[in-house]
Amino acid sequence: MIVAIDGPAASGKGTLARRIAGHYRLPHLDTGLLYRGVGQIMRDRGFPLDNVEIAAAIAENLDLADLDAEKLRTREAGEAASVVAAHGPVRRALLDLQRAFAAQAGGAVLDGRDIGTVIAPGAEAKLFVTASPQERARRRFRELVGRGECADTDEALAAVLADIARRDERDSGRADAPLTVAADAVTLDTTDLGIEQAVAAALAAVEARRR
Ligand code: CDP
Ligand code: CDP
């Protein structure tokens, strides 16, 4: 069984993907990490993010085993990811790796922006996880404050909301694999759901599709 989970930044898709993968004992790939990895390497090496050729070459040679999920969770990496993710050649360079992960025997859970539409259009279960921009900003803000990456002030929260809005616009507006709801996806709005409620709703949606 392939479970495809898409949605905008800080909607809770990663949390749900991990929990669903744990429930069914399936391997899980957070595909955002790939784009974060490319963006961060570009930054670390001082390449401008709009250099498509270099970004595509980095994507081509990316090794999942080298990606440090903890280090790539920063705001800076997320922002760089959404810039390089708009380059078609970068997306194409990361396609085979993601499709191979999805196709492994026994199945897999993948989360990102284009799993149900491009990476695994034949997935048995597709979820589109969303929440209001204000709620997503609040969630991301709490994480950032918890990690000491941002001050616990109203101004800082407003800045996180602006980051989220910019990323939504970039991810939804790009020509190549924009963030859209797959025709056969179940939309799960988690604005008013706690994590356990969201997990229960997600598992129910996956179960309904398996029958
Ligand atoms: O966790 P969050 O939603 O903030 O970010 P992420 O899932 O790690 O993704 C970071 C960026 O990578 C997104 O803003 C997208 O631009 C890009 N991305 C993508 O284009 N396609 C995917 N399948 C996954 C991520
Ligand atoms: O992967 P994505 O960026 O979509 O989101 P995430 O990393 O799963 O969740 C972002 C933050 O929101 C995490 O700190 C989650 O614990 C929290 N969260 C929440 O408060 N309520 C939910 N229903 C889902 C996630």
Q: Is 12 annotated as a binding residue?
A: yes
Q: What is the pLDDT of residues 41-81, one digit of tens each?
A: 999 999 999 999 999 999 999 999 999 999 999 999 999 99
Q: Is the pLDDT of residue 206 over 80?
A: yes
Q: Using only C-alpha atoms, what is the Rg of the chain?
A: 16
- pLDDT score, position 210: 80
State mean pLDDT over 180-194: 96
Label residue 10 by pLDDT band (50, 70, 90): very high
Which ligand sits nearest to residue 98's alpha carbon? 1
- pLDDT score, position 211: 67
2-210: which CATH architecture? 3-Layer(aba) Sandwich (3.40)
State mean pLDDT over 128-137: 98
- Using alpha carbons, list the distances in angstroms from residue 45 to 21, 67, 101, 132, 169: 34, 16, 28, 35, 27
Report the percent of the chain where pLDDT is more than 90.
98
**What average pLDDT does the chain have?**
96
112 lines ligand 2 (CB under 6 A): no
CA 17 to ligand 2 centroid distance, Å: 11
Residue of the CA atom closest to atom 23 of ligand 2: 195
CA 45 to ligand 2 centroid distance, Å: 30
Mutate to test the pocket of ligand 1, among 30, 68, 73, 171 (most ligand atoms within 8 A of CB): 171
Contact 125, 4 (CB under 8 A): yes
State mean pLDDT over 125-150: 96
pTM of the entire structure? 0.97
Q: Is 112 annotated as a binding residue?
A: no
State mean pLDDT over 88-116: 97
